[in-house]
Amino acid sequence: MSLKPKPVTVFGVPTDVGAGTRGASMGPEALRVAGLVEALASRGVEVADRGDVAGPRNPWMPPVEGYRHLDEVVAWNRAVMEMSAAELAAGRMPVMLGGDHCLAMGSITAVARHCRAQGKRLRVLWLDAHADFNTSAITPSGNVHGMPVACLCGLGPDALVNLGGQGPMISPADVRQIGIRSVDPEEKRLVREHGLDIYDMRYIDEVGMKQVMEEALAGIDADTHLHVSFDVDVLDPSIAPGTGTRVPGGLDYREAQLMMEMIADAGGADSLDVVEVNPALDKRNRTARLAVDLVESLFGKSTLMRD
Ligand SMILES: NC(=[NH2+])NCCC[C@H](N)C(=O)O
Ligand SMILES: [Mn+2]
Ligand SMILES: [Mn+2]
């Protein structure tokens, strides 16, 4: 299948207000230094880098009523939503460089509204070690980057659930989670209750990435908007050490590459988040460089020689 020729807008969101370890705020620049914009351009994509959106500083405070930095999280997500919405309305593909994963609330809220307005179906591929389905009542940390999927599905504070008007913005049925291997006990109960479609590492081990992607991409057609939310901690920490919540037993390079190539083969993504790159924990920017390499695969770089 041919790739979508859509022009791309890259923008950075330099914050770590949703995380429990500081440093993801440096992610956008690390991804640029690793050559993300040039890599897309060399694939023939028309790409514009709009620079970074602005937001409040990280006050580095303990959680209050189950949330850490809720006001700041709302402010950053509003900025992400506005930027994403403007680019989607202009017919461009937003590529959001995080920042921590709480920012996917802003990007996906914009995408969900865009889908409603255009009468499109939405499919979200959530590539992550974590389900990010906690609520204030059950979170072990208060870190909002552990909550975005729940908030998008309507479980969360009004300010986030209704960020883009009356929520919930998405339904659990819109989501496929791939690479999952760390879900908190109460979170697991909630995930089951809401019927999230999870392709955990055990399943990937048992059936292989090819079948996983066939299942996760099933049903996507020309009327489907595909959003990819790429938390780099889906990758094994041995190849991607630069992230704040490392979990052993993640995707190896070839699995991750096949995953991205199969998304490209299915027509590519219509919007993308690249989040949780933490240069303070990285070695010579290798996590950002790997993320760029995998984004290239997502945009159609292929290892395929046989036809
Ligand atoms: N986007 C992430 N890296 N999320 C990690 C979440 C970790 C843990 N489940 C928590 O809620 O605190
Ligand atoms: Mn995540
Ligand atoms: Mn994660």
Per-residue model confidence as pLDDT tens digits over 202-252:
999 999 999 999 999 999 999 999 999 999 999 999 999 999 999 999 999
pLDDT tier at 306, thresholds 50, 70, 90:
confident
| Closest ligand relative to 136 C-alpha | 1
pLDDT tier at 4, thresholds 50, 70, 90:
low
Q: In a mutational test of the pocket of ligand 1, which residue from 103, 126, 141, 235 has the highest number of ligand atoms less than 8 Å from its CB?
A: 141
Task: Note whether residue 307 is domain-resident.
Answer: no
**Which of 49, 72, 128, 200 is labelled catalytic?**
128
Nearest CA to ligand 1 atom 11: 146
Task: Note whether residue 303 is domain-resident.
Answer: no
The CB of 84 under 6 Å from ligand 1? The reply is no
Q: Residues 59-65: contacts with CB within 8 Å, 24+ apart?
A: 60/22, 62/142, 63/139, 63/141, 63/142, 63/143, 65/136
Report the pLDDT averaged over residues 39-55.
Answer: 97
Query: Distance, CA 182 to ligand 3 centroid (Å)?
Result: 8
Q: Which atom of ligand 1 is the closest one to the Cα of 142?
A: 12
Task: Note whether residue 305 is domain-resident.
Answer: no
Task: Note whether residue 220 is domain-resident.
Answer: yes
Task: Note whether residue 17 is domain-resident.
Answer: yes
ipTM given for this complex: 0.98
Q: Dihedral of the CA atoms 113, 26, 134, 60 (nearest 10)?
A: -120
Task: Note whether residue 127 is domain-resident.
Answer: yes
List the CATH number of the domain containing 244: 3.40.800.10
Q: Is 132 tagged catalytic?
A: yes
What is the per-residue pLDDT across 151-171, written as a single tens digit (0 to 9) for each? Answer: 999 999 999 999 999 999 999
Task: Note whether residue 183 is domain-resident.
Answer: yes
Nearest CA to ligand 1 atom 9: 146
Task: Note whether residue 1 is domain-resident.
Answer: no
Q: Say how many domains are in the chain.
A: 1
- Edge to edge, the sheet with strand 197-200 lists 47-52, 8-13, 93-98, 271-275, 224-231, 121-127, 175-180, 197-200
Q: Which domain holds residue 172?
A: 8-298
The CB of 143 under 6 Å from ligand 1? The reply is yes
Residues 6+ apart with CB under 8 A from 55: 13, 15, 17, 72, 75, 76, 79
